[in-house]
A and B are shown apart, each in its own frame.
Chain A
Amino acid sequence: MAILGRGEAAWVRGAQAGSASDLEALFREHWPRAHRAAYLVVQDAAAAEDIAQEAFLSAIRSLDRFDRRRPFGPWLHRIVVNRAIDWARARALRDEVAGDALAHHQAPPNDPLDPYSEPVRAALASLPPEHRAVIVLRHLLEYTPGEIAELLELPRGTVNSRLRRGLDRLRSALPEVQRV
């Protein structure tokens, strides 16, 4: 888990006082991981960008009320991950209920697939969004299972079982893909 550094506390204080450079420092520090976390949960680049952006906007709206003794990261990550889960669930529902006229005319992604990371991304995509979120919080954002339970308001046992099942799925998916 990210530890509240002296720099971050100073940035929060500065941003609360109206310093754009302190806000930028906070943004640059937290954006990449917030954006990646959202992307890994929703598996959609545009939605991930919107979700991470909305989380920062939400942070700005609440900046004056933010208790600067608390770390900024977990607060932001809670917003990002919960919104990403909501979005992924909503998309799954939409896809079940009705397809759009163009849904079957999906263009391939513009970027070439990375042979090293793509199998993991694909394996993650096969998990339910709630399981993806737990994996992302543990392995990308480096929270402990206890912290994840607190962030997502889940029993610790649920977090552990989702982690275990998620990792099993990833492990089983990877060797097959590597042989291809």
Chain B
Amino acid sequence: MSERDVRRRIVSISPPDELEAERRAWAVVRTAFDEREPVGRPRRSLVRPLLAAAFVLALIAAVVNPPVLNALRDALGRDREKTVYRQALFRLPASGRLLVNSANGPWVVRKRGAKRLLGRYREASWSPRGRFIVALRAHELVALEPGGRVHWSLTRTGRLAFPRWSQELAGSTRIAYLRGPELRVVAGDGTGDRVLNRRVPRVAPSWRPGETFDVSYAGRAGRVQVEEADTGRTLWRSGRLGRPLALAWSDDGERLVVLLPHAAAVFGRKGRRLGRTRVDGTAAAVAFQPQAHRFAVLSRDDATGRSTITLIDADALRASRRVLLAADGSFRDLAWSPNGKWLQTGWRTADAWLFVGPKGTQKVVSSIARQFSSGSGGRARFPAVPEGGWCCPSGD
């Protein structure tokens, strides 16, 4: 076979889905181009008129859109010099990939800002090492790769919700999810689907990191219980707590925080209640910081319209708490970077994401809804980042 023949064959190889990939890439590149901030000084005399025009446009934008600017100004607060603004998500401030659930489906955002729309799925969340994603599509539970390739799907009647992937143990994993009022568990390869509890409230289950597949969930009468998923054995059950909103484990599996409408209750691995702490306003989200016994709580004071993110030490509930952010407007979601140094939250009122970093550093990225719309017209909706949505540097 001649060199020319080899070359001809190499040239004839095309990636699957080539045109669709080009369409997706152009949409991302075009958005980044529209939002870029030129850094160099152009050499032509056209520069001044262009700058003048840009200034006038900025002025018009400021007049036309004061709520956004006001909200962003408020965010500057006392640490103006520590806040960086970006008009597009050019890169994440730390390693890992971010999973974003938008009205058009989940997106995977890589550290350098490249992003991919996976398709018409909802409620996506990561597998333990970020090599797979579990998501819902109509009546299907679907396991797919971050590139969009489907590995398996499971069709079930009823309303499916909250799929959550467990840690990996000896090469296997489990996925817990809700079907109507039922809590169900299926193996990570899509086999062995079964009911764990026939009647639970609509709260996302949470896997305890550890040596067995222990799933915690909100049970009846405002209690939280932890069960060994493979045997169905109840390991422990809490007293009546009220109305649990969310559950989160520290990544060593030693602390569980249960978020309640106006408080957070902390439990040890075996169910010992370690304390309860008040939350200012109404609680909205909770997330444990990686490699620590600290968790962040997002809450909102409905009277003042002010939202707060507080960092609380699970081992010293009363003694140690620090306000990471306090700003006007409505926020949603909390996602820690895998290295535990940055915390992402969605600022709906300002259509922005806020990354809170070490020593009070903040990065604000605006126009989030538009960046996560598919460009098919209509009003773009603000997307959500699922719990644990910032995942896995090694998979990047």
Q: Which of A's residues lie within 8 Å of B, judged by CB?
A: 15-18, 20, 23-24, 27, 31-32, 35-36, 39-40, 44-50, 52-54, 56-58, 60-61, 63-65, 94, 99-103, 105-107, 109-111, 114, 116-117, 119-121, 124, 135-136, 139-140, 167, 170-171, 174-175
Q: How far is the CB of A59 from chain B (nearest CB, A)?
A: 9
Contact with A along B2-20 (1 / 0, CB 8 A): 0100110111111111100
The reply to whether B13 and A63 contact each other, CB–CB distance below 8 Å, is no
Q: A39-B15, A57-B113 are in contact. List 20 more A-B contacts (CB 8 A).
A: A17-B44, A20-B34, A23-B30, A27-B25, A35-B15, A39-B13, A40-B13, A45-B17, A50-B110, A50-B147, A53-B28, A56-B25, A60-B29, A94-B395, A102-B151, A116-B12, A117-B9, A117-B10, A119-B9, A174-B9
Closest to A16 in B: B42
With beta carbons under 8 angstroms apart, the residue of B10, B112, B394 that contacts A140 is B10
- A35-B21, A60-B32, A105-B152 known; A54-B114 Cβ under 8 A: yes
Ranked 4 nearest A-B pairs via Cβ: A46-B147, A64-B40, A39-B15, A120-B9
List the A side residues contacting B15 at CB < 8 Å. 35-36, 39, 45, 48-49
Q: List 28 A-B contacts (CB under 8 A).
A: A17-B44, A17-B50, A20-B30, A23-B29, A32-B18, A44-B147, A46-B149, A49-B21, A50-B110, A53-B24, A54-B113, A57-B112, A94-B394, A94-B395, A101-B171, A101-B188, A102-B143, A102-B188, A106-B151, A110-B149, A111-B17, A117-B12, A120-B10, A139-B7, A140-B11, A170-B6, A171-B1, A175-B1
Q: Which of B's residues lie within 8 Å of A, judged by CB?
A: 1, 3, 6-7, 9-18, 21-22, 24-26, 28-30, 32-34, 36, 38-40, 42, 44, 46, 50, 90, 110, 112-114, 116, 127, 129, 131-132, 143, 145-152, 168, 171-173, 188-189, 394-395
With beta carbons under 8 angstroms apart, the residue of B6, B14, B24, B173 that contacts A49 is B24
List the B side residues contacting A44 at CB < 8 Å. 147
